[in-house]
Amino acid sequence: MSFRPEPPYTHGTIPRSAVLLVNLGTPDEPTRGKVRSYLKQFLSDPRVVEVPRLVWWCILHLIILPFRSGQSAAKYRTIWTRDGSPLRVNTALQATRLQAMLTERGHEDVTVAMAMRYGSPSMPEVLDRLKEEGVDRIVVLPAYPQYSGTTTASIWDAVFQHYAKVRNIPELRLVKHYHDHEGYIHALRDNVLAHWDNHGRGQKLVMSFHGVPKRTLLLGDQYHCECYKTARLLATALDLSQDEYMVTFQSRFGKAEWLQPYTAPTVAQLARDGLERIDMICPGFTSDCLETLEEISMEVRHDFEAAGGKEFHYIPCLNASPAWIRGLAEIAEQHLIGWPTILTPAQREARRIDAERGAARAKSLGAPN
């Protein structure tokens, strides 16, 4: 195996630390072609779909991609903004504000970057850029609070696959989960309370998490348990009784049994049972996206109202709320412990000189192919 050449202009410089915030991904545009490319990459991941590869290849390329791409593109168009995909916009803003927060808390020598597991900016692209910037220590921070083999583990796969062909591998720390982290729970609590302060409180708080096939739980995936722990901790923080909240799972795909209760039919039943107003939050999503803005706030809202419900309130994701940025900073700090993140005056001067020399060497040598 041949390994890619290293950027020569980073040798001898003071190594930098970085936090890489990784989210699931999004199409570049809400068009059939771009959505097809995104779905192909996403649904080709064996972590996402555990079906024999040949069988799944036929299903994916002959059935799903030809028919689902156009349908999904139409859904994306209903939530697309002038700045692009809400998921990408929100994640980028989180990274920008996390950078500012870490600097404010004294971590001046930490770079914060954002990448997507599927789509752009891709993880290989961002990891290569960090190397060129002299980063030799990376905390990989998934945007998924609850661990699952279908999400978090796929990020690890991508990291390891990328560095399998790299000669000089940086020091890595991988954040597995933070489903019960105090900063995350407090941010969720503040988000709900702010909504209640502005819009009043519903008869029940429904916490909808993204679903996964039930067989993953039976085979040992801890996602289901972590979702319920998050829900219990949030309910406690809000002083809710068991009758005042419930957990559901959304986004079922295919005919196999997934984690239950399913969100849409459960919400419709709540309306039929006489509940006039419910509030819904999606704690497993830290950024608003197709699954929250279209599936929940549009489709599930319609199901609730069609079944007789009067008021459906969707509580937005954490996005870049101040409480969540503080929570992210606390999580990042815990995983940065032991790495130098504050420069001495001498190191600042050395860093300035390194930057000047590096720029000169890069110009004379050229970036490696």
Q: What is the mean pLDDT of residues 36-61?
A: 95
Classified as helix, coil or strand, 25 is strand
Reported as a pLDDT band with limits 50, 70 and 90, residue 368 is very low
Q: What is the mean pLDDT of residues 70-99?
A: 98
pLDDT 10s digits, 227-275: 999 999 999 999 999 999 999 999 998 888 999 999 999 999 999 999 9
Percent of the chain with pLDDT over 90: 85
Per-residue pLDDT for 358 more than 80?
no
pLDDT 10s digits, 104-143: 999 999 999 999 999 999 999 999 999 999 899 999 999 9
pLDDT 10s digits, 133-190: 989 999 999 999 999 999 999 999 999 999 999 999 999 999 999 999 999 999 999 9
8-179+323-365 shares its CATH topology with 182-315: yes
Per-residue pLDDT for 8 more than 90?
no
Question: What are the two backbone dihedrals, phi and then psi, of residue 335, each rounded to the nearest 5 degrees?
Answer: -95, -5
Reported as a pLDDT band with limits 50, 70 and 90, residue 12 is low
Per-residue pLDDT for 72 more than 50?
yes
pLDDT at 11: 62
Task: For residue 64, give Cα distances in angstroms to 77, 256, 266.
Answer: 19, 16, 27
Q: What is the mean pLDDT of residues 211-223?
A: 96
Average pLDDT over the chain reads: 93
Fold designation for 182-315 = Rossmann fold (3.40.50)
pLDDT at 343: 72
User: CB of 151 within 8 A of CB of 284?
Assistant: no
Q: Beta partners for 21?
A: 114, 141
The full set of domain ranges for the chain reads 8-179+323-365, 182-315
| Alpha carbons 103 and 6: distance in angstroms, whole number | 29
Reported as a pLDDT band with limits 50, 70 and 90, residue 29 is very high
pLDDT at 253: 85
Segment (H or E) for 216: helix 214-218
pLDDT at 361: 63
Per-residue pLDDT for 369 more than 90?
no
Per-residue pLDDT for 348 more than 90?
no
3-state helix, strand, coil in the chain (%, to 5): 50, 15, 30
Reported as a pLDDT band with limits 50, 70 and 90, residue 41 is very high
With a CB cutoff of 8 Å and minimum separation 6, the contacts of 231 are: 207, 245, 247, 283
CA dihedral 253, 262, 151, 318 (to 10 degrees): 130
pLDDT at 210: 98
Per-residue pLDDT for 101 more than 70?
yes
Binding site, residues?
210, 291
From the list 196, 190, 146, 135, the residue with the least C-alpha distance to 168 is 135
Per-residue pLDDT for 223 more than 60?
yes
From the list 95, 150, 144, 184, the residue with the least C-alpha distance to 285 is 144
Fold designation for 8-179+323-365 = Rossmann fold (3.40.50)
Q: Which two tokens stand for residue 302?
A: 């319609």
pTM: 0.92
Binding site for Fe(2+), residues?
210, 291
User: CB of 143 within 8 A of CB of 282?
Assistant: no
